[in-house]
Amino acid sequence: MKHPTGTVLFTAGETATKFEILTKGEVVIEETVADGTPSAAAGTRISLRNLAPLGELGALTGLPRSTTATATSDVEILSVGIADLLGFFDKNADVGLGFYKNLLGLVSDKIRRDRSRLDDMRTNLVRTQKAMKKMREQIEEAEESSISKPLYETLDQLINNNRRANYRVSPTTSYPAHVRLDDGTIIPVLELSEGYMKIEGKAAELTQDPAFWTGVLVVPTDEILVSGSVLREAGNGVVLKLDAPIDEFKIKLDNYTTRVQLLDFVV
């Protein structure tokens, strides 16, 4: 199928129904914000040229797309329905094995790139935090002026907002997270960070004392003891402020959130 320059081939939030391969032209993959416009802050912009699969993981896993694809030239795309493709692989296992082997190679390349990008993001964040802290100290030591107080307060707010504990991820259907309560109840986790967690339900269903709460965070590879307090009820869930975990559990939590962040970058 041919598409002219500027055609939006798919958008974030859509569920793929076809497996597609770009055979001619160029397509840009980029993260978008809620209204579908490009997200400059996200910094994710990848150009694909023929021959290249388009949104292959979304097509084969059923996960909603996290990016938008736009043709930046006239393009030609081959496509096949997901059910037809999987049915063909069932009948031709040797072809399917080769296909999935190549797909695994593509996924590995994406994960390596995303790990490198995450490392760069963390390094830049650390540098920014150190620079802002130094500026805050300089303001504290300098003679007070009409702008020193608002500058100090702004820097202080930015430093607190940029703390790692504030960065939350949303578990995916392929890499979920749940909380197991003392009575054995299992509750889905909606958002998670080092310092906060949002889970389904009401505060009264979690604990009789909002100032103290405990549970077990269950992720695909680990179980992590967590505790904290109820911060507020928000929308369809409850936001919990978590106590600082011991080193062993902190490593496990970091591993999980990092993996989810990597999945967010996959087309």
pLDDT in tens, the chain (267 residues): 899 999 999 988 888 888 889 999 999 988 754 444 544 444 457 888 888 888 777 777 777 787 889 999 999 999 998 889 888 988 998 888 888 888 788 777 777 777 777 778 778 888 888 999 999 999 989 988 889 989 999 998 888 767 655 677 888 877 899 999 988 999 999 999 888 899 998 998 888 899 999 999 999 889 999 999 999 998 789 999 999 888 889 889 888 887 786 655 443
Contacts (Cβ under 8 Å, ≥6 apart) of 204 = none
pLDDT value for 175: 83
The strand order across the sheet containing 8-10 reads 8-10, 68-71, 26-30, 45-49
Query: Is the omega angle on the peptide bond into residue 51 within 30 degrees of 0, that is, cis?
Result: yes
Contact (Cβ atoms closer than 8 angstroms) between residue 176 and residue 220: yes
pLDDT value for 40: 43
Tokens standing for 83?
């059910």
Name the 3-class secondary structure at 75.
strand
pLDDT value for 217: 95
Tokens standing for 217?
């965070």
Strands 213-219 and 196-200: unpaired
pLDDT value for 266: 42
pTM above 0.95, yes or no: no
Contacts (Cβ under 8 Å, ≥6 apart) of 195 = 163, 165, 166, 241, 242
Helix locations, the chain, DSSP H: 56-61, 82-91, 93-141, 148-161, 203-206, 247-265
pLDDT value for 180: 95
Backbone dihedral angles phi then psi of residue 60, each to the nearest 5 degrees: -95, -15
